[in-house]
Structure 1
Amino acid sequence: MAPATDTVTDLRSRIDRVDAELAGLLEERALLAAEIQRHKPVGGFVGRDPGRERALVAAMAHRAPRLGAPRLARIMSAVIEAGLEAAEEEARAPLADR
């Protein structure tokens, strides 16, 4: 096995870059999900589609096998719920605040 050449500082810097990208992607996802909520006849938590969520997690598990479907299901549930909460807060906000 080759010796590791990255220091903890180097690795943390790389994680910081990934986290910054992840934050941007999560914001984009939340904006898209909020737009979808405006088109659904029944939105919010009631309008969740468990079958679609399972398919999403299964597809992600192929790209992130280290995490696997059970962990990704927990992560994506939290992401979906946070996006729904943000969309609901935005929908309740007065127009002047938007």
Structure 2
Amino acid sequence: MPILLVIGLQSWTEKPVLVREIEAGDWRKVWVLAMSGLICGLCWEMWNACSLTHWKYDVPYAQRFQIFEMPLLGYLPFGIFCALFADFMLPSSLRHA
């Protein structure tokens, strides 16, 4: 899973901010990131669903609740992964500005 890979890579340099917040019991950022991934993914899928050459997704064990071509559980980790990857790639001076 890409999220675990990015967290593992980021842990070599420092503990990810998101992991520290979860350890402290604050899950708000996780939920905000998951909901932003859902909203953004829904907008993208509206354009994808009607295009002539559109993507079809397969998320193992989660194909049940499909919205357009993507299962619902595929949208939620997307926002979390984007935030973790941006936090890993950006220099520390830009992260907390």
**Fold shared by both chains (TM-score > 0.5):** no
TM bracket, shorter-chain basis: 0.3 to 0.5
- TM-score, normalised by the number of residues in structure 1: 0.32
Name the TM-score, length of structure 2 as normaliser: 0.32
Q: Which protein shows a greater Rg?
A: 1
